[in-house]
């Protein structure tokens, strides 16, 4: 009798708690779902950027600490940008623009991109291909008939399988003029000297600067524009890359344009221009860290050419249907944790440049260095280590971003979908508080309150997964027995 009475009391208490929690939950839900996104809750892009910035402050501080250490030990002089999930979370300059006068670098400093220029040259060819003005499998002699090499296609130039001789050897041995030769001069020297090719076209992969010089010439002849003009019209201006341009021997030094430095003895000295500076396509694009980020994001968004065209450009190929080559059109390819990474390095006359694009996650690391010190790979590896564990931060950011963009209802669905797919979901409560503070500061009180209520209800209270959960309720009844 007493045991039955005790059982009824326990069941009664559980039912009472269920009702109380239901009332509380309903009250909170009413406040949460009073509206999806009211007009006063709409968040503009600048506030979104400020909110995005709070998620990776600690990571940015770690990157800065690492780079300060590398700079102190190895005299790194350059700019670094890190983008995570499509957002720039770190951008900073280290060292000097003028190493002798000790004038500090800024993020507006303009670097020679060296071989990073090849991806821009490849894009110019892709644009013309989409315009129907050329085909990748056209022979180069279709556009440069005086070239004494038959059977070489545009695709072979793009993926370094042409077998063409090194034009730099040609200029150093045959060029006698005072001014540095331009691309057309290189073509004329090949025509006159008939320098033998290294191997039959398409037989091997052999990294070729010559191939990209000829690609720039193809662009000029097909478009009937100077290569620099074509790049401005089709890439730099449309993307808002206001501080990017192609080298020309006719222009004078521009504001913020850097010189490259090499070490002689124990001192850095400016590297003078060489006979090979006049050619473009293989190098010759100048840009800033900000403009390169615009370029990077345009590639992710397929702003310039179609997704189909980009996919082909970022894919490897086989030589003679046997040997895999991890090179696309102006990009090298590799894997990190079974995910695709698209990258390239550049080195020319004291400049060392690198871009790593973790394309499946929309993450990017850009390092621009205007000294001959080989620190770029070390810097990139250290930055990768910093981001080895960001799961809690990433999930929190995804949930909060969903709430801001689509409303609380979508945020709750996102949260439960993550729990279903990942099991235990850990959210960073501090980020909810910081987001609410930013929204409150910007007078977006309704959304700020909803962010806090979401944290209270789902992150701290877990009401829906305890008393409001039918399985939990039935389990409680079984324990009472």
Beta-ladder partners of 96: 104
Please return the burial class of 457, using the count of CB atoms within 10 Å of its CB with bins 0-12, 13-18 and 19+. Answer: buried
Q: Which helix (H) or strand (E) holds 453?
A: helix 445-454
Beta-ladder partners of 287: 111
337: three-class secondary structure by DSSP: coil
Residue carrying the six token digits 């556009």: 143
Residue carrying the six token digits 């010089």: 213
* Measured CA angle at 375 (ends 280, 73), to 5 deg: 140
Task: Based on the residue annotation, tell me whether 135 is a catalytic residue of this protein.
Answer: no
* Catalytic residue (choose from 115, 217, 223, 476): 115
Q: Which helix (H) or strand (E) holds 120?
A: helix 117-130
CB 81 within 8 A of CB 363: no
- Rounded to whole angstroms, the Cα distance separating 425 from 421 reads 9
Please report which residue ranges of 131-236 form alpha helices under DSSP H. 154-158, 167-174, 183-193, 209-223, 227-231
Q: Which of 330, 304, 296 is nearest to 116 (CA)?
A: 330
- Rounded to whole angstroms, the Cα distance separating 70 from 226 reads 41
The CA-based dihedral angle spanning residues 399, 401, 406, 410, taken in that order and rounded to the nearest 10 degrees: 0
Instruction: Give the tokens for residue 41.
Output: 């809750």
- Rounded to whole angstroms, the Cα distance separating 285 from 266 reads 30
- Rounded to whole angstroms, the Cα distance separating 314 from 323 reads 17
Contacts of 18 (CB under 8 A, 6+ apart): 467, 473
CB 439 within 8 A of CB 432: no
Backbone dihedral angles phi then psi of residue 110, each to the nearest 5 degrees: -105, 125
Backbone dihedral angles phi then psi of residue 380, each to the nearest 5 degrees: -65, -45
Residue carrying the six token digits 């993307």: 239
Please give the span between the terminal C-alpha atoms of the chain, in angstroms, as a whole number: 14
What's the half-sphere exposure (Cβ side, CA atoms, 13 Å) at 28? 21
CB 471 within 8 A of CB 94: no
User: Any idea what DSSP says for residue 162?
Assistant: S
Active site residues per annotation: 115
């Amino acid at each position: 009798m007493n045991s039955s009475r005790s059982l009824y009391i326990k069941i009664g208490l559980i039912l009472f708690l269920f009702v109380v929690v239901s009332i509380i939950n309903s009250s909170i839900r009413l406040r949460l779902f009073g509206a999806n996104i009211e007009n006063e809750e709409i968040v503009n892009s600048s506030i979104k950027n400020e909110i995005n910035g709070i998620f990776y402050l600690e990571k940015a501080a770690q990157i800065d600490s690492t780079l300060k250490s590398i700079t102190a030990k190895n005299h790194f002089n350059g700019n670094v940008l890190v983008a995570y999930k499509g957002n720039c979370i770190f951008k900073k300059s280290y060292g000097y623009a003028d190493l002798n006068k000790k004038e500090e670098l800024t993020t507006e400093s303009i670097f020679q991109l060296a071989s990073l220029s090849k991806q821009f040259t490849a894009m110019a060819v892709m644009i013309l291909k989409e315009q129907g003005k050329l085909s990748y499998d056209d022979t180069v002699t279709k556009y440069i008939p005086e070239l004494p090499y038959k059977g070489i296609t545009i695709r072979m130039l793009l993926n370094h399988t042409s077998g063409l001789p090194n034009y730099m050897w040609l200029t150093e041995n045959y060029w006698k003029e005072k001014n540095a030769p331009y691309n057309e001069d290189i073509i004329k020297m090949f025509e006159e000297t008939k320098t033998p090719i290294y191997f039959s076209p398409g037989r091997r992969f052999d990294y070729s600067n010559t191939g990209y010089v000829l690609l720039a010439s193809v662009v000029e002849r097909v478009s009937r524009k100077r290569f620099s003009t074509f790049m401005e019209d089709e890439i730099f201006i449309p993307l808002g890359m206001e501080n990017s341009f192609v080298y020309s021997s006719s222009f004078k030094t521009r504001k913020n344009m850097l010189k490259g430095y090499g070490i002689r003895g124990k001192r850095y000295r400016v590297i003078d221009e060489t006979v090979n500076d006049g050619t473009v396509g293989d190098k010759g694009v100048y840009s800033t860290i900000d403009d390169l980020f615009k370029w990077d994001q345009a590639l992710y968004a397929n702003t310039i050419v179609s997704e189909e065209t980009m996919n082909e450009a970022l894919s490897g190929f086989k030589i003679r249907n046997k040997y895999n080559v991890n090179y696309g059109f102006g990009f090298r390819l590799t894997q990190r944790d079974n995910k695709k990474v698209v990258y390239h390095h550049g080195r020319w006359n004291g400049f060392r440049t690198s871009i790593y694009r973790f394309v499946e996650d929309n993450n990017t690391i850009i390092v621009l260095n205007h000294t001959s010190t080989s620190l770029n790979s070390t810097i990139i590896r250290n930055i990768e280590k910093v981001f080895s564990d960001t799961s809690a931060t990433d999930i929190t950011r995804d949930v909060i971003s969903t709430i801001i963009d689509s409303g609380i209802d979508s945020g709750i669905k996102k949260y439960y979908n993550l729990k279903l797919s990942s099991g235990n979901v850990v959210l960073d409560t501090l980020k909810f508080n910081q987001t609410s503070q930013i929204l409150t500061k910007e007078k977006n009180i309704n959304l700020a309150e909803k962010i806090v209520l979401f944290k209270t209800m789902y992150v701290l209270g877990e009401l829906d997964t305890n008393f409001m959960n039918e399985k939990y309720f039935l389990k409680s009844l079984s324990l009472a027995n």
